[in-house]
């Protein structure tokens, strides 16, 4: 959305709520102003910067101050107040495309509807037709809007989005009108889930790019299509927003559409304090209107007195302040991780053989991997007992003799029993390179029991690391009750590593907990938990979590070479 249509949307909604409340005079004033702003060719932000809002026909002092407030703070107190004054449920109904305050209030007053679920039921039962002015077509539109609303709410795992991005960008790059093509928004920030996917293209011929975009093969519906932007729905229920901008404002657009919104709001405020104005079109001097940056994203940060801020950090979690004082971390790089420390094979519940997993690691350029199949009490995963584990260790020795350029470490993902002890005997654990302990059962225990169980495992002499420490599964399971602070404290004291599990729906520890761990002096490592060779490609998802957790290479054990790693875990 351009800034103009965003501002128009705010004014329009205020107008609609006034109308619904019967205040037709105020309603008309706001709606007229909204229309004028939506049809302006000049950027509203620039008009504001020049102090000329009141020169727009229909914009008086009070509307001008509302626009100014929104442009500067990203929110509007009047609108929030008006929204709060609505009866319960009306706001929820208004989230639907085509349902403004007026319609929502009528649905609420005349049919007593207070939620989208109730509206859906009413529409399906044909009850909407009882309301004057509503017909079969209204019902149909509302059901469609509900369906789209639901798929909009659905967030997608980053792990599923990244391959999609590769496909879309290479398709768009196939058109010579496209100069730069980049995923922006939450995907560029590598957030663990992505709402809609945003794609930014720089081009001198935007209509060519839009045309190619809307003819992608996997589109189920073109939601909108304009001269420089378009929105489509893909087969997997993923919504994709395209924006095409000219090269001279590509950097500014990259900055703006990468977000996050919170990061942008703070940056815009900072620009303002320096007598500058930042928008998706560029960075300008407020008084003269002179453009000082726009083509290159780095220049924007530089002119604000900031070092480059990696997209993964742009969440307004202190990164702007850190950049201003030169205190940003040197984030662990995607290429710095030398080995994958959590790999399964067909010896337990994986599908790949030892050789296949090793071969894949070599293709990826890794220096080492740790084979960590399940242990015996995990029956459903065909966990290994002492004897089978010994057998696998011998097999790994043989494979290591043949393998060039890759070291295969002998490990296990050992089950932590209810009493905190491990399910394999010390005599075999002591001969392994890497013992990762993990909880796979008894999730119903209380916080104290769970915490004690993990702490006991951390104190076990054979344990070097804890896998997926909280047990959460994104969108499915919250993770067991746990006093993570205590666990981290003990891990730090005992020198036990904490995992960043890179499996797309785990990402455990998550970014906030990883950051906390790093701050407490805990060393982490990244493991994919791959059960097939191709799942080893999840490694960058784990690195992204580490980066979003502000971690430097020094806090990530598998940036060490194999000797360094073994020394770090007391096996060297």
Q: Which is nearer to Ca ion, 210 or 422 (CB)?
A: 210
Q: Which is nearer to Ca ion, 210 or 409 (CB)?
A: 210
Binding region for ligand DGT (CB under 6 A) out of 31-39, 46-54, 194-202, 215-223: 194-202
Cα 424 to Cα 80, 324, 374, 430: the distances in Å are 59, 51, 11, 10
Q: How many chain residues are in contact with Ca ion, going by CB under 5 A?
A: 5
Q: Which is nearer to ligand DGT, 264 or 528 (CB)?
A: 264
Query: Least distance in Å: CB of 82 to ligand DGT?
Result: 18
Binding region for ligand DGT (CB under 6 A) out of 260-268, 516-524, 538-546, 552-560: 260-268
Query: Binding partner of residue 297 among Ca ion, ligand DGT, none, CB under 5 to 8 Å per kind?
Result: none
**d(C-alpha 316, C-alpha 227), whole Å:** 33
Instruction: Answer whether 263's CB lies under 8 Å from 255's CB.
Output: no
Query: Least distance in Å: CB of 155 to ligand DGT?
Result: 7
In this chain, which of 185, 206, 282, 329 binds Ca ion, going by CB under 5 A? 185
Is residue 196 near Ca ion by the rule CB under 5 A?
yes
Query: Binding partner of residue 259 among Ca ion, ligand DGT, none, CB under 5 to 8 Å per kind?
Result: ligand DGT
Report H helices in 351-483: 354-363, 386-402, 426-429, 447-459
Of all helices (H) and strands (E), which one includes residue 370?
strand 368-374
Structure tokens at 454: 């993990």
Query: Least distance in Å: CB of 547 to Ca ion?
Result: 19
Query: Least distance in Å: CB of 500 to Ca ion?
Result: 24
In this structure, the dihedral spanned by the alpha carbons of residues 61, 66, 67 and 69, taken in order and rounded to 10 degrees, is: 120
**d(C-alpha 413, C-alpha 435), whole Å:** 6
Binding region for ligand DGT (CB under 6 A) out of 98-106, 191-199, 222-230, 430-438: 191-199
Binding region for Ca ion (CB under 5 A) out of 159-167, 179-187, 278-286, 343-351: 179-187
**d(C-alpha 97, C-alpha 95), whole Å:** 7
Query: Least distance in Å: CB of 280 to ligand DGT?
Result: 8
Query: Least distance in Å: CB of 185 to Ca ion?
Result: 3
Q: What angle do CA 254, 257, 259 make, to 5 degrees?
A: 110
Query: Binding partner of residue 356 among Ca ion, ligand DGT, none, CB under 5 to 8 Å per kind?
Result: none
Query: Binding partner of residue 16 among ligand DGT, Ca ion, none, CB under 5 to 8 Å per kind?
Result: none
Query: Least distance in Å: CB of 263 to ligand DGT?
Result: 8
Is residue 527 near ligand DGT by the rule CB under 6 A?
no
The residue sitting closest to ligand DGT, measured at its beta carbon, is 259
Torsions phi, psi of 551, nearest 5?
A: -85, 140
Residues in region 73-112 near Ca ion by CB under 5 A: none
Is residue 13 near ligand DGT by the rule CB under 6 A?
no
Is residue 186 near ligand DGT by the rule CB under 6 A?
yes
**d(C-alpha 289, C-alpha 324), whole Å:** 25
Query: Least distance in Å: CB of 238 to Ca ion?
Result: 10
In this chain, which of 257, 281, 538, 550 binds ligand DGT, going by CB under 6 A? 257
Strand ranges in 203-266 using DSSP code E only, listed in sequence order: 219-225, 229-234, 239-245
In this chain, which of 32, 260, 346, 449 binds ligand DGT, going by CB under 6 A? 260
Of all helices (H) and strands (E), which one includes residue 236?
none
Per-residue binder mask for Ca ion (CB under 5 A), 135-174, x = binder: ----------------------------------------
Is residue 242 near ligand DGT by the rule CB under 6 A?
no
Q: Give the contacts of 410 (CB within 8 A, at least 6 positions apart).
A: 370, 371, 392, 393, 396, 431, 432, 433, 434
Residue 41, burial from CB neighbour count under 10 angstroms (0-12, 13-18, 19+): exposed
Query: Least distance in Å: CB of 171 to ligand DGT?
Result: 20
Is residue 244 near ligand DGT by the rule CB under 6 A?
no
Query: Least distance in Å: CB of 256 to Ca ion?
Result: 12
Q: Give the contacts of 22 (CB within 8 A, at least 6 positions apart).
A: none
Q: Give the contacts of 157 (CB within 8 A, at least 6 positions apart).
A: 192, 193, 194, 474, 475, 504, 505
Is residue 6 near Ca ion by the rule CB under 5 A?
no
Q: State the Rg of the chain over Cα.
A: 28
Binding region for ligand DGT (CB under 6 A) out of 7-15, 46-54, 255-263, 476-484: 255-263
Is residue 552 near ligand DGT by the rule CB under 6 A?
no
β-partners of residue 500 are 526
In this chain, which of 241, 312, 319, 340 binds Ca ion, going by CB under 5 A? 241
In this chain, which of 58, 74, 246, 481 binds ligand DGT, going by CB under 6 A? 74
Residue 327, burial from CB neighbour count under 10 angstroms (0-12, 13-18, 19+): exposed
Handedness of CA 41, 46, 50, 54 (dihedral sign): positive
Q: Give the contacts of 480 (CB within 8 A, at least 6 positions apart).
A: 439, 443, 445, 450, 470, 471
Per-residue binder mask for ligand DGT (CB under 6 A), 18-57, x = binder: ----------------------------------------
CA 492 to chain centre: 28
Q: Which is nearer to ligand DGT, 315 or 340 (CB)?
A: 315
Structure tokens at 310: 């990696």
**d(C-alpha 148, C-alpha 121), whole Å:** 16
Is residue 198 near Ca ion by the rule CB under 5 A?
yes
Query: Least distance in Å: CB of 162 to ligand DGT?
Result: 14
Residue 171, burial from CB neighbour count under 10 angstroms (0-12, 13-18, 19+): middle
Q: How many chain residues are in contact with ligand DGT, going by CB under 6 A?
A: 14
Q: Is 338 helix (H, G, I), strand (E, B) or coil?
A: coil
- Footprint on this chain of ligand DGT (rule: CB under 6 A): 74, 185-186, 194-196, 198, 256-257, 259-261, 264-265
- Provide the binding-site residues for Ca ion, judged by CB under 5 A: 185, 195-196, 198, 241
């Amino acid at each position: 959305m351009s800034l103009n249509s965003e501002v128009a949307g705010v004014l329009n909604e205020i107008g609609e709520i006034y109308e619904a409340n019967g205040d037709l005079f105020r309603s008309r004033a706001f709606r007229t102003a909204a229309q004028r702003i939506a049809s302006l060719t000049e950027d509203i932000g620039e008009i504001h910067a020049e102090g000329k809002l009141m020169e727009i026909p229909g914009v008086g002092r009070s509307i001008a101050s509302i626009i100014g407030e929104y442009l500067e703070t990203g929110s509007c107190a009047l609108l929030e107040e008006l929204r709060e004054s609505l009866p319960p449920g009306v706001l929820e109904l208004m989230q639907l495309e085509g349902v403004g305050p007026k319609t929502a209030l009528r649905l609420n007053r005349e049919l007593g509807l207070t939620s989208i679920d109730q509206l859906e039921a009413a529409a399906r039962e044909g009850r909407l037709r009882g309301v004057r002015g509503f017909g079969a077509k209204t019902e149909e539109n509302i059901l469609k809007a509900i369906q789209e609303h639901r798929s909009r709410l659905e967030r997608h795992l980053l792990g599923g989005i990244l391959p999609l991005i590769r496909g879309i960008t290479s398709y768009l790059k196939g058109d010579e009108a496209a100069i730069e093509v980049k995923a922006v928004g939450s995907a560029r920030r590598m957030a663990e889930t992505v709402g809609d996917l945003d794609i930014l293209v720089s081009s001198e011929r935007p209509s060519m790019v839009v045309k190619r975009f809307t003819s992608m093969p996997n589109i189920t519906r073109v939601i909108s299509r304009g001269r420089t932007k378009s929105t489509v729905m893909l087969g997997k229920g993923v919504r994709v927003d395209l924006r095409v901008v000219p090269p001279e404002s590509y950097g500014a657009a990259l900055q703006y559409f990468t977000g996050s919104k919170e990061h942008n709001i703070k940056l815009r405020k900072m620009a303002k304090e320096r007598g500058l104005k930042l928008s998706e079109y560029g960075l300008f001097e407020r008084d003269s209107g002179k453009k000082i940056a726009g083509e290159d994203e780095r220049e924007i940060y530089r002119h604000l007195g900031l070092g480059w801020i990696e997209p993964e950090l742009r969440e307004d979690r202190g990164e702007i302040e850190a950049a201003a004082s030169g205190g940003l971390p040197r984030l662990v790089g995607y290429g710095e991780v030398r080995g994958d420390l959590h790999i399964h094979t067909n010896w337990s519940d994986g599908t790949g053989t030892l050789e296949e997993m090793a071969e894949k690691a070599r293709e990826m350029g890794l220096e080492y991997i740790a084979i960590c199949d399940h242990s015996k009490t995990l029956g459903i995963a065909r966990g290994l007992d002492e004897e089978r584990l010994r057998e696998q260790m011998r097999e790994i020795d043989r494979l290591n003799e043949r393998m060039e350029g890759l070291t295969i470490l002998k490990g296990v993902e050992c089950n932590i029993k209810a009493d905190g002890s491990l399910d394999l005997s010390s005599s075999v654990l002591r001969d392994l390179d890497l013992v990762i302990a993990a909880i796979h059962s008894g999730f119903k225990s209380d916080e104290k029991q769970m915490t004690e169980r993990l702490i006991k495992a951390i104190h076990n002499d054979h344990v070097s690391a804890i896998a997926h420490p909280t047990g959460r599964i994104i969108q499915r399971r919250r993770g067991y009750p746990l006093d993570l602070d205590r666990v981290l404290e003990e891990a730090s004291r005992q020198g036990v590593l904490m995992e960043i599990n890179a499996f797309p729906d785990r990402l455990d520890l998550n970014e906030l907990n990883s950051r906390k761990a790093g701050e407490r002096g805990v060393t982490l490592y990244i493991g994919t938990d791959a059960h097939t060779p191709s799942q080893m490609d999840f490694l960058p998802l784990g690195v992204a979590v580490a980066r979003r957790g502000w971690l430097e290479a020094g806090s990530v054990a598998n940036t060490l070479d194999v000797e360094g790693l073994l020394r770090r875990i007391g096996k060297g």
